[in-house]
Structure 1
């Protein structure tokens, strides 16, 4: 600011924002200092001994402080990047600013609000500029009011400051209305009578008199004598809040001093902003009254419809709001029911038989039946929006189509509402056509692009759905609307379905080509044998049939689209994975999206994305916290990947001792991640499923943790044989595993579709699982028993006890089964 010499900076300082905050954290603050004026600068500063300013309402919150409590030594350090003149300033003790410099701060806040994304970060950057001006009490009335408005607009989006924001805006609007609006006439007839008397030359008209005093002539305006018996003060506009004090009001000269530099909004703009604020907090009655005064009839109808109840409701509190809303909209769009063909004026327009500009119209007396006449010509300026509102109230697609035509096919809201109506009627194709027209009129709406993608996905048009979701993400300016977890997840679903469709089509095409190639070889041999004999070169019926076959093997839309975009099937699958990962990052607690990441990462070829599989599986388990969330197939894939290569540690330093030690994989390797996943996340969840214990045993054996592998095998066997109320104390204690029986098995192989346990004495599948776990336990005793100090040579006896325990319980039910033979073979092998 070279011209004004004003220095300011948006910086940070330690402070507290809440009453219960104990630790100071960094808070944004604006540091500013005006240039000191010299006596010979030729500039005179506008000073006021007691400047008037509207009252800044207190926050009165039980948690937030009235203003940030900055730390005592929060001044800038000498090494700060701030200008040298600002380094000695403290946030809560800054010098007064000149009015022009305060306007610069508010202008900076306006520019940031206009050219930055509408999000919470932008609001945090704008608020300190308004607070810096509000802290300067000695300022111009209009500047102070503008700062209060900037702060209120930001606080409207915060739950703890919402009340003050609305009331502060109401206080400002009240003062503007009361100080600037003329007294309201007692009635419309009285106003017309006054106008009539003035036109007849009545003495009530003010007169200009020229008088001479000491030889000089002066001109004075003599007010007209009052002819009304009623006091004008009774009709003066009143305020919603208590009337402002004289110290809070300023003269017109003070208010208009910086009006051009501030670009303050006009009064009706402030009132409409206040009405929208009241509507946002649910005070529809207050909002409706303001909208009536501003003659914003569309907003009046929406407020009435939002608060609509029927007149004949049971508790008798109905207001008939929806009927009133329909009557208001029809009043604006249609002539009265009993009106005949309207006469046309000189411009060719129909004369309006209703006074639409009549401010005294009682809208509560309007009825739907009163306005069933022809459509007004020309239509009101906001006719497309009014027709859409009427379509919402009456569920009539003709109103949306009329709005579309009146707008010259440019009002996207008409087609969007028409599409929603078709969706409610489950007319998918019509809804798609409507949304295609809507996005053609407004290509920067992430909501409409996302909705179109949903419809395309429902119709099975996966390439179009993927494009629509990508457009929704590209046009979004934040997490609201297009760039949210739902859109990313839907994009992943569209790409995944597209991939599956392309793979299926490629497979069908290859099969068709192979079959056609065989037919072509046979025809080629026949042609070589009959060469020179055929004189008719016209196509035969067989060749026509072949042409049809060729058409059937032509690539469809999905394959052609993928080929045109240069996307191979695996690339589509990779893109789907990235979309799901982005959605899971945004919705970190949505386990379904993480589960999709697991599925796709494990499906990649030639090598699955194991890091993504581990990360997503860990998040699914973190969210669900149940063994029902375990996917045994995915865990098997991970364990197979790790155990497919030998564990390290056998060579180098340590020799034979290192080869026998438990192997701990290096950090950041897939082996380390899988080990941590099973030991830290899977094992604590296991209570009744046996399959995961088999995987844990296999992984521990790979790490040369023989005692842990044998312990996991015993726990898996106990989980399998714990069905049908059988409590088995397995194998004599083993390597630290308890002897208490576990819950009934609920795995997919030994549980029904409702997750209830099956009796392995009655169910063949559950019996097979028990036989399999018994065989794995015997193999674990045989392979690792002698390496565990607590078992040693006793492993053979423990294995026999486990097999005999199962055989004694299942003899009556399964003695003639194939599994029984397996157990007999195991027992026979343990005798030697």
Structure 2
């Protein structure tokens, strides 16, 4: 009877063994696969897996060759491998990967060592030991210029899993999926995320159609793809995968409001944010028979105590699993968790979840819980760092914590809650203690290993060292520097050690530590162990992680900026031209000193090594700007916003590059062809003079407008960006947006800059856009108005531009600042609306605020007086034109008063020729009586 490969693959992927396989299959590889699913990796030490890990060479020269050259399975496939051979390779890879996860992620401690796997010749067995394998594996796990964490336990397991999965598989469909999982674990071992090979993602796409036909399998695959995208910073793509995963598993969820109380003394129930969620009913057909009655299982409150569910006692197969310790809040005001009012009509009207009682929601399937936690991560990534983010994330975490179903998922939920509570005064203590408890639980055996590994690939649980690092950073944030320093030193995270000493203003101590490490006076843990081995020959001492040493040289360069060039160059040489950190540091060094050509050279090498770090692209773009290479700068800032869509500064710079390219005569094509774009472009063309070719192309302006609009979502308080956005919005005919931008600038700058915060040219254009559209355009002010205003004014008027501009004056500008030109613009708007009395008053306010109205006796500036004479003549013309339209308004009296008062204050200028104009004007007013 042939192997049921598909069922075995399914069991390995889901972590649940099908007992029918054990009864029907007698091949050794099937028993091996069953043990791996159950968390037993001891078969790696016996046949036939030891044959797979036989070192093919027998001389000491083998030790200087990379691991792929040690084993036969790393050779290109000849296409003659059998199904059983490929299955053995897959099972060994899964066992190695999960062994690495056990020893570094989930615990408890592992009972096998990497050396137990290898079959060595007697000659090699004399020189190969665990420490050599460790150092060599760490060095070879470095990728994309980023070093692997050197204290990761048994790194050879991860390297072997990757080497096995990189071989060719003709009969195993799920190998690309396991390759995806291995690469995500590999990413978490590196100092910084790096770009994975493109085929890692593309090779699993076909599985959705050919292999992952079951809802949970499809949902798990989509979720894991999204988690890899999340880890490398592709948040939009990750969000799409998470939503598709929820859709695949038929998870229903809705973020809504429900009445409840959050404090112990609260008397009135208020609307609280809540996540309603419900899993689909699962049966034996889904392979999750134990979860068929999830709604009958108990819940766990914030203190970790089990409470019975509403549907009766839990059956034996749905008993609550062993879970990490959940610390109680024990606050004198806040409740342990929000107490929601029992209701049968929760959610929005017409919602499919309206039947759920917010006070007693059904338990969720563990996979659905993982999806909710992933969606919670995405809320954090796509939202600004302010309180609303915490409020949005908390309901997701609370929904998962209410019904613990899996050790790893519950651990992840507690970790997220700890992060959310770290910045609140009443919860910071529990946040720190909870994180400490999670760190302490790792070595324990309070739950089976198979339970811990069941959904380890469906969450982004940090490794042991990352969780301890997070605890140290938490200590650092609350001022417990000594405890943080002890953890960092034990973990040998020297960069963080240096930061601790710098925070204590002991830079000399930081420099001494780094120099001691580089010069051998202070050794890291693996080096100390290696030196104690008598069998460790002198040639083997040369096996060292060059990428990690290069990082130390870079760290020394940061601490000694006066010798930075020397240290960064040494780092680049030590790494044999592979350290992205060295090139990033050199690029920053040259940029800070104005050497932009060398900065560009170094930063281009840095982004070639690791293209996922947006900061490198940003500095590269700035260096191109200094060289006035607008096109290359545009490309660099495009990469910035591709990596980090929330980088408002990069969006602003990208917009600037589009405009600069236009000034240089380079037109950028618009990637969409809709009627609104075409209409706006036609309006712009119609309004341009004959020298249009000398202006920035409309397509460049439109792209700049879109870039600024996107950037303002993440830099809402940046008034400079609002100013740029306002100007570009006027240029592309988006007057409503220009109105909004001007309002933001005034709100930000009025207290500091006064009337100077108002761009009066833009204000005049906005008023013209309204007045010309109503046929009431006047000739007062607004000189140099582009015909584009007239081309787009009718559309903007019909969409409420007049109301927006009116609100801008009445609600934003005039309550804060004023100037003659602002009053005149306001008067023109009122005139267009037919409000002649208000318009006259606005004109008069503008006159009083101008030179003529504020001129005092004794003025000696002739030019200022001549300008004031023109203002007097203008206000008299305004009174003549609009005064008769206002019933009961004595405009002649007002005009005489204006002229008489001005002449009385400025008698010192009677000998000037312009004085005759004032006399004539006074006579004309008298004759009109």
TM-score w.r.t. length of structure 1:
0.60
Question: Which of residues 324, 329, 332 is equivalent to 2:514?
Answer: 329
- Distance between the aligned counterparts of 1:600 and 1:258, measured in 2? 57
1:694 aligned residue = 824
Write the deviation string for residues 9-66 of structure 1: whole angstroms up to 9, x where unpaired.
Answer: 534561447436852144114446843599xxxx994698x98765422235677542
Displacement after TM superposition at 1:73 (Å): 0.9
- Distance between the aligned counterparts of 1:423 and 1:646, measured in 2? 54
Question: Which of residues 53, 58, 61 is equivalent to 2:328?
Answer: 58
2:341 aligned residue = 71
Question: Closer, same or farther in 2 for the Cα pair 1:52/1:405, shift >3 Å?
Answer: same
- Distance between the aligned counterparts of 2:665 and 2:360, measured in 1? 68
Is residue 495–residue 555 contact of structure 2 (8 Å, CA) maintained in 1? no
SS in 2 for 1:14: strand
1:261 aligned residue = 454
Displacement after TM superposition at 1:170 (Å): 0.7
SS in 1 for 2:559: helix
Displacement after TM superposition at 1:603 (Å): 4.5
1:24 aligned residue = 271
Write the deviation string for residues 440-488 of structure 1: whole angstroms up to 9, x where unpaired.
Answer: 2222222221222222223332222222212211122x42xxx32x222
Q: Does 1:723 align with 2:851?
A: no
Is residue 112–residue 122 contact of structure 1 (8 Å, CA) maintained in 2? no
Is residue 416–residue 438 contact of structure 1 (8 Å, CA) maintained in 2? yes
Is residue 322–residue 446 contact of structure 2 (8 Å, CA) maintained in 1? no
1:573 aligned residue = 701
2:743 aligned residue = 618
Q: Does 1:450 align with 2:618?
A: yes
Question: Closer, same or farther in 2 for the Cα pair 1:142/1:610, shift >3 Å?
Answer: closer
2:292 aligned residue = 35
Quick check: which has more Rg, 1 or 2? Answer: 1
Is residue 485–residue 500 contact of structure 2 (8 Å, CA) maintained in 1? yes
Is residue 556–residue 567 contact of structure 2 (8 Å, CA) maintained in 1? yes
Displacement after TM superposition at 1:67 (Å): 1.0
Question: Which of residues 486, 500, 503 is equivalent to 1:289?
Answer: 486
Structural mapping, 1:459-470, within 5 Å: 459-470=627-638
Q: Does 1:385 align with 2:551?
A: yes
- Distance between the aligned counterparts of 2:524 and 2:887, measured in 1? 105
Is residue 273–residue 395 contact of structure 2 (8 Å, CA) maintained in 1? no
- Distance between the aligned counterparts of 2:710 and 2:250, measured in 1? 43
Write the deviation string for residues 708-764 of structure 1: whole angstroms up to 9, x where unpaired.
Answer: 3332333233223443556xxxxxxxxxxxxxxxxxxxxxxxxxxxxxxxx8x2223
Is residue 301–residue 326 contact of structure 1 (8 Å, CA) maintained in 2? no
Is residue 457–residue 465 contact of structure 1 (8 Å, CA) maintained in 2? yes
- Distance between the aligned counterparts of 2:915 and 2:817, measured in 1? 28
Q: Structure 2: state its 5+ residue gaps.
A: 1-213, 218-248, 282-290, 297-313, 533-540, 668-692, 777-795
- Distance between the aligned counterparts of 2:293 and 2:768, measured in 1? 77
Displacement after TM superposition at 1:133 (Å): 5.8
2:187 aligned residue = none
2:918 aligned residue = 823
Is residue 476–residue 484 contact of structure 2 (8 Å, CA) maintained in 1? yes
Displacement after TM superposition at 1:390 (Å): 1.9
Question: Which of residues 599, 604, 609 is equivalent to 2:727?
Answer: 599
TM-score w.r.t. length of structure 2:
0.54
Is residue 300–residue 325 contact of structure 1 (8 Å, CA) maintained in 2? no
Question: Closer, same or farther in 2 for the Cα pair 1:257/1:75, shift >3 Å?
Answer: farther
1:471 aligned residue = 639
- Distance between the aligned counterparts of 1:669 and 1:146, measured in 2? 49
Q: Does 1:14 align with 2:281?
A: no
Write the deviation string for residues 736-794 of structure 1: whole angstroms up to 9, x where unpaired.
Answer: xxxxxxxxxxxxxxxxxxxxxxx8x2223432332122112211232233333223xx5
- Distance between the aligned counterparts of 1:128 and 1:287, measured in 2? 31
- Distance between the aligned counterparts of 1:328 and 1:432, measured in 2? 32
Question: Which of residues 645, 652, 668 is equivalent to 2:799?
Answer: 668
2:286 aligned residue = none
- Distance between the aligned counterparts of 2:774 and 2:408, measured in 1? 78
- Distance between the aligned counterparts of 2:846 and 2:409, measured in 1? 76
Question: Closer, same or farther in 2 for the Cα pair 1:613/1:63, shift >3 Å?
Answer: farther
Structural mapping, 1:406-417, within 5 Å: 406-417=574-585
2:659 aligned residue = 496
SS in 1 for 2:911: coil
Q: Does 1:174 align with 2:440?
A: yes
Q: Does 1:278 align with 2:466?
A: no
- Structure with greater helix percent: 2
Question: Closer, same or farther in 2 for the Cα pair 1:289/1:75, shift >3 Å?
Answer: farther
SS in 2 for 1:93: coil
Write the deviation string for residues 534-557 of structure 1: whole angstroms up to 9, x where unpaired.
Answer: xxxxxxxxxxxxxxxxxxxxxxxx
Is residue 345–residue 356 contact of structure 2 (8 Å, CA) maintained in 1? yes
- Distance between the aligned counterparts of 1:293 and 1:637, measured in 2? 65
Aligned residues: 583
Displacement after TM superposition at 1:82 (Å): 5.1
Q: Structure 1: state its 5+ residue gaps.
A: 181-251, 310-319, 338-351, 362-375, 505-562, 649-664, 727-758
- Distance between the aligned counterparts of 2:473 and 2:417, measured in 1? 16
